[in-house]
A and B are shown apart, each in its own frame.
Chain A
Amino acid sequence: MAGISRFRIGGLIAAGFVAVAVLFYQATPLEAREAEKPGDSVRGVTLWADNCARCHAMRDPKEFRDDQWRVIVSHMRVRAGLGGQDARDILAFLQASN
């Protein structure tokens, strides 16, 4: 009985995460997000200075290409708890400065 209960709880948690993921994604599909919110490089300068140096030395924007910065900023968005718009603003600054 305990085994069944554990199975059900684990399954419910997993199903819950999938449900949350689908609900959030349906609320704002990828295409809509990409189309309506471009990055602001001016705002990105400040966000870059305020956030990146919280943990490590500032990397030169010229160190990476546009496509590399895109992936790096996505990684840092997760690691530093950045919002999507903040990440796009920082990316716009880095891509404009390299």
Chain B
Amino acid sequence: MSWSGSNYVSAVVALAIASGVALSEACAADDMAGLQAEVDALKKQVQEAGEWRRSDSMVHLSGYGAVTYSDAQSENGAYDGVVFAPIFHYQYKDLMLLESELEVEVGKEGETEFALEYLALDLFLNDHVTLVAGKFLSPIGQFRQNLHPAWINKLPSEPPGFGHDGAAPVAEVGAGLRGGLPASGGRLNYAFYVGNGPELEAAGGELEGVRSEGMTRDEDGKKVLGGRLGFQPIAKFEVGMSAATGQAAVARDAAGAVASDPARDYDVTGVDFSGQIYGLELRGEYVRQKAGAAAGSVAPDAAAWKAWYTHASYPFQPGKWEGVLRYTDFSMPDANQGQRQWAAGVNYLFAPSVIAKLAYEKNDGESGTAADADRIQVQLAYGF
């Protein structure tokens, strides 16, 4: 067989095409491998980016901050409130939540005051029962556990008697159970606890105050049991009843620490309500702490601290402007040291969590003290 010139040309062309196809297939295979590698890398990135959504352990930083300016009768106006209250949340699945609030404040002398407002371990036992242990805000009433953060409280100040030195318990160190469940077409929520209880303060042979910030010691050795039951018969309306009972002892008087003062009965009762209708928010709360008599004590007589407030607010431009009115009556064992207060305010919400407040307080208390001085307050608060 002999090949002509055209045959040689055809063979060369065919060989060239075959080589090109082979080369092209090899390149395509390389491209595919490269693409596959890129896809795998992207998959890994997407998986990593979504890990935070599926992780068993979660961390969240929350809290609030507030700056307050106060101008009271008989005192120079001053920026007298600078508060930073970070809240740390750590959660493992839907089983455990650790929640802790620090309260960092600037004091009158420029010093930094630092406090652990609460540190609670919440173990979700089932849909209706949560075990709470640690230092927790007192479940007595509503203000302390739900309304005290500055971005939630609709006035710059706390109602007299519901702050750190008043009639309402502030916090407790102990353990308890709390939760919620459907009941009679409405909803029931509950919180019961046992804790170390408060300590009493005396001065001049009389009981002067109750320290209820939550302590890790229990000088009298007697625990306090307490709790609150809340019921919502209809949406946006709740009534609550609170009580606590146990024993407490005087731990401090004007001369300093008091040792081995006899334990005496200690009882707390309270009722509260909150409701909303056509935008109008109404709430009120009554609480009474009573320490019984104790023979042989540095302050043997019984004493009671009582306070109640009622509060109304109305958003006359919903989500922006709201007006607030509150009346409070705080009674102490020394009748001269009680306080009555009318407070009226106007708030502007830059956002649901950013609020500016302007308020005027008309105070009626012991003459010559802050409890009797009317004042204007301006506050900017942010809940994050």
Contacts and interface: CB of A to CB of B under 8 A. Distances in A.
Given A50-B236, A84-B127, A57 B353 contact: yes
A70 B91 contact: yes
Contacts of B62: 72, 75
Nearest to B151: A56
Contacts of A24: 125-126, 129, 131
Nearest to A5: B221
A81 B91 contact: no
Interface stretch (B23-31, B35-43, B173-181, B293-301): B173-181
Given A17-B175, A25-B125, A72-B62, A67 B93 contact: no
B352 A57 contact: yes
B189 interface: yes
A13 interface: yes
B152 interface: yes
A74 B177 CA distance: 15
B53 A75 contact: no
B199 to A, nearest CB: 16
Counting chain A CB atoms within 10 Å of each CB, which of B62, B89, B126, B276 scores highest?
A: B126
B93 A13 contact: no
B43 to A, nearest CB: 21
Contact of A34 (B93, B122, B126, B355): B93
Interface residues of B, number: 61
A25 B124 CA distance: 8
A53 B181 CA distance: 19
**Interface size class for chain A?**
35 or more
Contact of A71 (B58, B126, B177, B189): B58
Interface string B128-154: 111111000000001001110001100
A79 B59 CA distance: 18
A68 B269 CA distance: 37
Contact of B133 (A17, A25, A56, A59): A17
Interface string B97-131: 10100000000000000000000101111111111
Contact of A55 (B120, B123, B130, B147): B147
A43 interface: no
Contact of B94 (A21, A54, A57, A74): A74
Nearest to A14: B175
B233 interface: no
A18 to B, nearest CB: 9
B95 interface: yes
A27 B145 CA distance: 30
Contacts of B53: 66-67
Interchain residue pairs A-B with the least CB separation, the first 5: A81-B189, A84-B127, A24-B125, A57-B352, A71-B60
5 contacts: A10-B223, A17-B133, A78-B99, A83-B182, A84-B126
Given A20-B177, A78-B120, 15 more contacts: A2-B221, A13-B223, A17-B133, A17-B177, A34-B93, A54-B236, A66-B53, A67-B60, A72-B62, A74-B89, A75-B62, A78-B130, A83-B181, A83-B182, A84-B94
